[in-house]
Amino acid sequence: MKLHVRPVLPRPHSALLGLMLLSSGWVHLGSSMEVMVSPYIIKLNGTSAKLTCTFNSCYDVNEKRFSLNWTYFECDNCTEDLFAQFRRKVIIPRNDRFSGRVEWSGNLKKNDVSVTIHDIQLSDEGFYNCSVLNPPDRHNGWGLIYLRVVTEVPPERDSTVAVIIGASVGGFLAVIILILVIVKCVRRKKKQDHQSEDQKTEEEGKTDGEGNQEEDGKQH
């Protein structure tokens, strides 16, 4: 199955991947939810790759309304392939590229929609997009992963500085995300309470008006 709609994204070897390497996680801050992914994955040809994707939402998940799309595209102008879905249940569409190799690894009760691709091939290198919609949220959230496939394990390097920077950036992002989610949910709750109070006041006004009309009728 082919899809043609996705966020406008930079090319694989742009500054985005540089930022991915420095952080332990990448987050897309949507208007309704936050989607968190492991942004840059390196896997050895022939092994399995877990594409981790979780999300935060102000609303509980209703499986009858919740929807998920996992798609793959090799480059900015390439066609997008749908290879996993959630529509009331997990659906693995027939896909020539990933035939028989896709496995559901998530837990919707924990807001985890991860998948695993087995027997990774060199042709699987590219972008993987996790797109989530959790009504009554009106807008979907998405997270982007770039998978690099290698034929041999890269030599070990002293990555102490990179680990420290990555952990610091990842921790800072986690705190910011938590604050944003709390603030957004509180504002949404206040808005809903305000609308409920306005509706209640309006109904009471109508009731009082009807009562006054009945009393006037009795006096006449």
Peptide bond before residue 136 is cis, with ω within 30 degrees of 0: yes
* Interval 164-216: pLDDT, tens: 555 455 555 555 655 666 666 766 666 666 666 666 666 666 555 555 555 55
pLDDT on residue 75: 86
7: nearest Cα among 182, 101, 127, 117 = 127
Mean pLDDT of the chain: 76
Domains annotated on the chain, with CATH: 2-153+160-179 (2.60.40.10)
Share of the chain above pLDDT 70, in %: 55
How many other β-carbons are positioned within 10 Å of the β-carbon of residue 70?
27
Confidence (pTM)? 0.65
Hey, which residues does 91 pair with through a beta bridge?
85
* Interval 49-95: pLDDT, tens: 999 999 998 889 999 999 999 999 998 788 899 999 999 999 999 88
SS3 content of the chain, % helix, strand, coil (to 5): 35, 30, 35
